[in-house]
Amino acid sequence: MTYRSGRHFLQIPGPSNVPDRILRAMDKPTMDHRGPEFAELGKTVLAGMKQIFKTENPVVIYPASGTGAWEAALVNTLSAGDRVLMCETGQFATLWHGMAAKLGLDAEFIGGDWRHGVDPQAVQQRLSADSDHRIKAVCVVHHETSTGVTSDVAAVRRAIDAAGHPALLLVDTISGLGSVDFRTDEWGVDVAITCSQKGLMMPPGLSFNTISAKALQASRTAGLPRSYWGWDEMLQHNARGYFPYSPATNLLYGLKEAIAMLLEEGLDNVFARHARYSEATRRAVRAWGLEVLSLVPSEHSNVLTAVLMPEGESADRLRAVILEHFDMSLGTGLNKLQDRVFRIGHLGDFNDLTLIGTLAGVEMGLSTAGIAHNKGGVQAALDYLAEVAASGQRSQQQRVA
């Protein structure tokens, strides 16, 4: 292979680009994970993640992918044969449902079309009909990475409460946390799940559970086998800043830096930045004459945009052309969406010029691949970003005056 100048554009919806600050933070000798210096690191990242999750409840950290945190949430709270209510919003909701079945749970699936989020009314109706409370947990994906659709977690909690049902609420916010607002305690989430390689701007390798008092109580009688995933030993060791087995020490160095970066920018500013880039991207897509997969404006993702290809055109061919000619990776379509969509990731360590470079790569790729489209998508995004910047400058001048 010949050398390619410049930096590869990794614009998949996770893993996201790892900032230099985090890379430098991880680039130091591994410390003794039983020593006093490590205890300070452990306490710092555990406390910091509570801020990111917006919770007062414990957070546990596993050396694992998000899939591990899915399993931890299920095996710590449920017993074989328990019924769980899950909602088909895309590929990752489908995979989580499959895991629940493999673990011996009675996993009921509310069907969906992969273009809409969770229907809170359907959840409420199903729970209201469950008069003997056989359903022990409701499991939803906050932000579906395969589709670019966001579900209203607060509305799901209101639906559970309106039905007067005691089911736990387990929420996957793997691609949402750190990029879009997530309020664990305010929304009544019993177990929230995330991992390191999305909004936390880290390499893959860390995953997380938050644990409400209700979830912790359920774990004391839950019958599914667990050892590695057990909360009890985790919490016992975490109280002193340690872990029950060897932690991913250098990833924790990076996590400490990631938390600092998010808090330095301010979470509300982080969320506003992601919202701005998602709107700019959708304006580009519409200008090209293409269609965003997500159908409901209030459910549009601020993390990624899934774009439907014109009839008869291959999304995988377009992605291959863009990779070959412009050294940029875009997300593939998964399962039902294979070869039908490409996904533009606009999350994590990302600024205006990164977005414009990404959209330019897509627009050039559409032309190079000979796919019918309108020109001007990049310009539409530029116009929007300039409009937002001018509005912000005017607001600042008014505050100064």
d(C-alpha 326, C-alpha 347), whole Å: 20
Q: How far apart are the first and last CA of the chain?
A: 58
At 3-61, the pLDDT tens digits run 899 999 999 999 999 999 999 999 999 999 999 999 999 999 999 999 999 999 999 99
Q: Which residues are annotated as a binding site?
A: 343
Neighbours of 190 (CB within 10 A): 25
Q: What is the pLDDT of residues 87-144, one digit of tens each?
A: 999 999 999 999 999 999 999 999 999 999 999 999 999 999 999 999 999 999 999 9
pLDDT confidence of 392, banded at 50, 70, 90?
Answer: confident
Q: Which residues are annotated as a binding site for substrate?
A: 343
Query: Which domains occur in the chain, in start order?
Result: 20-263 (3.40.640.10), 266-400 (3.90.1150.10)
Distance from C-alpha of 333 to C-alpha of 320, rounded to nearest angstrom: 13
Chain segment 210-266, per-residue pLDDT in tens: 999 999 999 999 999 999 999 999 999 999 999 999 999 999 999 999 999 999 999
Percentage of residues in the chain having pLDDT higher than 70: 98
Q: Mean pLDDT, the chain, as a whole number?
A: 96
Omega prior to 15 cis, within 30 of 0: yes
SS3 content of the chain, % helix, strand, coil (to 5): 45, 15, 40
What is the value of pTM for the model shown? 0.95
Look at residues 174, 117, 154 and name the one whose alpha carbon lies nearest to residue 347.
174
Q: Would you say residue 400 has pLDDT above 60?
A: no
